[in-house]
């Protein structure tokens, strides 16, 4: 059997040797692309398009599944947050009303009651003045 002798390239050691090897590899790629013509580039474009489509579908599926899982995981926290927010709101409003009362500032309810009493007194005065 005849065996082919394959030239062994020496181990690339220096940056200059690495640059030279990269240059030779680039020239080889250009030579192959020229020999095979546009079919290589067309094939690469088609493969890239297919990969992009598959990647977009996968990303969409993963995104949808992840969103659903996150929503399910957050549901108990949302319910608890709403309950706690109502409690905190009530405590803050009660404390604020108490502080305003100590300062002598009337609440909205106090002002509404006074407005109704003034309206009733105004009606009574109009009735007495009309007689």
Residue 12 has a CB neighbour count (10 Å cut-off) of: 13
Residue 82 corresponds to which tokens in the numbers above? 């709403």
* In a domain? residue 118: yes
Contact (CB, 8 A) for 107 and 97: yes
* In a domain? residue 20: no
How far apart (Å, rounded) are the C-alpha atoms in residues 52 and 54? 6
Specify which of 8-17, 22-31, 72-81, 111-120 reaches the highest per-range mean pLDDT: 111-120
Q: Round the average pLDDT of the chain to a whole number and report it.
A: 82
User: Residue 43: which residues within 8 A CB-CB, separation 6 or more?
Assistant: none
Residue numbers of the domain that contains 58: 37-130
Identify which has the larger pLDDT, 127 or 9.
127
pLDDT band at 10 (very low <50, low <70, confident <90, very high): low
* In a domain? residue 1: no
Question: pLDDT of 91-128, one tens digit each?
Answer: 888 888 888 888 888 888 888 999 999 999 998 888 87
* In a domain? residue 4: no
Q: Residue 117 has what pLDDT? A: 93
* In a domain? residue 6: no
User: Residue 107: which residues within 8 A CB-CB, separation 6 or more?
Assistant: 97, 100, 101
* In a domain? residue 28: no
Q: Backbone phi, then psi, for 117, in 5-degree steps?
A: -65, -40
Name the domain count of the chain.
1
* In a domain? residue 114: yes
* In a domain? residue 42: yes
Question: pLDDT of 41-94, one tens digit each?
Answer: 777 778 888 889 998 988 888 888 888 888 888 888 888 888 888 888 888 888
How far apart (Å, rounded) are the C-alpha atoms in residues 54 and 70? 24
pTM over 0.85: no
């Amino acid at each position: 059997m005849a065996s082919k002798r394959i030239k062994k390239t020496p181990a690339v050691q220096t940056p200059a040797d690495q640059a030279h090897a990269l240059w030779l590899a680039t020239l080889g790629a250009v030579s192959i692309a020229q020999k095979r013509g546009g079919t290589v580039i067309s094939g690469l474009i088609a493969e890239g398009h297919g990969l992009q489509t598959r990647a977009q579908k996968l990303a969409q599926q993963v995104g949808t599944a992840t969103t659903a899982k996150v929503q399910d995981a957050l549901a108990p926290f949302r319910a608890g947050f709403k309950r706690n927010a109502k409690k905190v709101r009530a405590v803050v409003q009660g404390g604020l009303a108490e502080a305003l009362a100590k300062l002598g500032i009337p609440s909205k309810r106090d002002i509404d009651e006074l407005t109704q009493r003034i309206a009733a007194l105004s009606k009574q005065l109009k009735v007495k003045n009309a007689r």
